[in-house]
Structure 1
Amino acid sequence: MASKQPVHSGSAQTKEFDISLVDERIRGRSPDYARAVASVDANHTLRVEIEAANELNWELDARIANGSLEILRAFNDGNGVPDDVIPNWVKRVADVVGERLEGDR
């Protein structure tokens, strides 16, 4: 994921996160490890891309509100999906990304 050009523009800011779901106590039907890339473009659009072994890739359009990451739209391998289809582990990884982004402020 890191080698991709920013989706929105050349001026996008990106940050990569390696997340151990085991260390974060994210349990259930989930992978053990995920990599997430968060990017913010010049229009302040936050995109979180998540990939994990043996899982479909997820892209989330989100915003940080009231100290947590709120998912606005989700895409699974490029296809839009409703909120109730997003697996719990993806939502939890997004929460971890939000917490880490907030910690960098």
Structure 2
Amino acid sequence: MTDDPVTTLADLRVVVDRIEGRSVCGLRPGDSFTVTRSSELRLPDGGHFCLYALAAVLPLLPARQRALDPDDWLARDCEVACPDPEERLVMRIESGDVRAHRTDDLT
């Protein structure tokens, strides 16, 4: 009998840190979503998140869920900007609890 392979992933929270321009997407500082397991995105009840801001941060999330070398830029830099140049919305990626998951159960 063999042990199932396990993958360790951190839960993440993406928070609107600040808006330095004019807000047109309806987000405000403090708005957020969480990512759990390998692919579950959760919004607070009644919450929303701008698709363009989401598109900017999505490519970074799988790497941030995993343990990174302390010298990796992504381990040190947790801010992501929305691509809208007039809005200048800046999000912060926060790492949460680290959990072990059966690798076969993940996407």
TM-score greater than 0.5 by the shorter chain: no
Using the size of structure 1 for normalisation, the TM-score is 0.36
Using the size of structure 2 for normalisation, the TM-score is 0.35
* Structure of greater relative contact order (alpha carbons < 8 Å, 6+ residues apart): 2
